[in-house]
Structure 1
């Protein structure tokens, strides 16, 4: 019990020092930590909190996403294709305002894995809304807006085109990288509070880019919620 209390105290201290540093230094996004795609098209801002062995901890400051309804499918590849086409139609003007929207990165896929190998998982595919459109994002049938609060993310990068078999392997590798850290405990507590086992896949390249592809597996978590438990 004493060890757990000390860990929570240290996490609260780290959070306090981080917030103080932001107040003193102002907001700064280090673009050199971004995937290369984010030097060409708009991506959500984040602060790099920690860079560990094979993982990063980031803090995203209230990003806004246009999202599909949950897509039930046994295949990540199939569900992603379905969701991406809906979002592509959206940015091409198939929305209430008939307004075209600039492409951004990443496209994220929130995954709630199934209970068995032949059962459908649930996938929500989302497009980052550009800052220009955030005050009044065009609504569209079958899509809904997600606005995150301050969200912490444990991140692992990997390359290539994503296959269904990649996801459990990359998620397990991220879990192994953060095992034994305070972040792992915070993620477990946050997910337990939400009664979910979500992980998220972030893709930064179009389907027509074959070189230098960057993908990420994310564990999102609410640090304040985890510290409150």
Structure 2
């Protein structure tokens, strides 16, 4: 990331696109268009951006960049935070939710490399996704369009976290499922107008969770979680696992990602 940025006295305004130039990087002139502070009406950030990201490399993967910017656009500000932990206060969400609505859970057991959480019943909006960068991008757009008014009542809803991707454990390529938490205050969510979008209710359930705070890939963390849970003699669902994202993928400081396996 950039150690210094040339902002000057410019005031960043919603709906505008700015050119951010990174200084103090020897031998490099890193330029990246970031759409800053452009938020759908259903997003209500509680903080102003405090950290911005630049990407270097003349042969940058444009498909990846497009996906990253879409996610940055949807999630909004990049928030600087310390390594979070669960405060386990039923009336206060964990720090890693960053003030955004997230499912309530009770911390049942905590081990060195994972923990067992008991989640309350939840309601999600879901869609099938291809497990590629383009497939995940398209799935995310389907879900956020529903939240932004593409539903039979035309209402806009606040997006919750995490964004879950259910990943089957099979050898041949198959689709997964992407899910976004629906706000609990909406008792009867409007029906989708998109045939690829579904509303799904989940009963209270328990999951084993591994948290990580860097850019390491989901697959390796899923393998570490499975090995750790197995070493403790715990029984769990082996046919799939879930990737849980709580922030935009461009975040550098204060990252928090998780992998889940369903406890039996």
> TM-score, normalized by length of structure 2?
0.60
Higher helix fraction (1 or 2): 1
1:29 aligns with 2:90: yes
Q: Which residue of 2 aligns with 1:152?
A: 206
Matches within 5 A, 1:137-216: 137-140=189-192, 141=194, 142-161=196-215, 166-182=217-233, 184-185=234-235, 187=236, 191=237, 197-207=239-249, 209-216=251-258
Which residue does the alignment assign to 2:184? 131
Name which structure has the greater RCO, CA cutoff 8 Å, separation 6+: 1
Q: Which runs of 5+ in 2 are unaligned?
A: 1-87
Cα offset, 1:139, TM superposition: 1.5
Tell me if 1:42 matches 2:101: yes
Give the 3 Å change call, closer, same or farther, for CA 71–213 of structure 1 in structure 2. same
Separation in 2, partners of 1:47, 1:31: 12
Q: d(CA) in 2 for partners of 1:30 and 1:45?
A: 9
Instruction: Output the CA distance in 2 between the equivalents of 1:38 and 1:88.
Output: 18
1:114/1:122 contact within 8 Å kept: no
Structure possessing the higher radius of gyration over alpha carbons: 2
Structure 1 gap ranges (5+):
1-26, 224-229
Match in the other structure for 1:99: 155
Match of 1:64 in 2: 123
Query: What displacement does 1:161 show?
Result: 4.7
Displacement after TM superposition at 1:220 (Å): 1.6
- The CA distance in 1 between the partners of 2:117 and 2:91, in whole Å, is 12
TM-score, L = length of structure 1: 0.69
Tell me whether 1:90 sits opposite 2:146 in the alignment: yes
Shift of 1:206: 2.5
RMSD: 2.2
| Aligned residues between the structures | 175
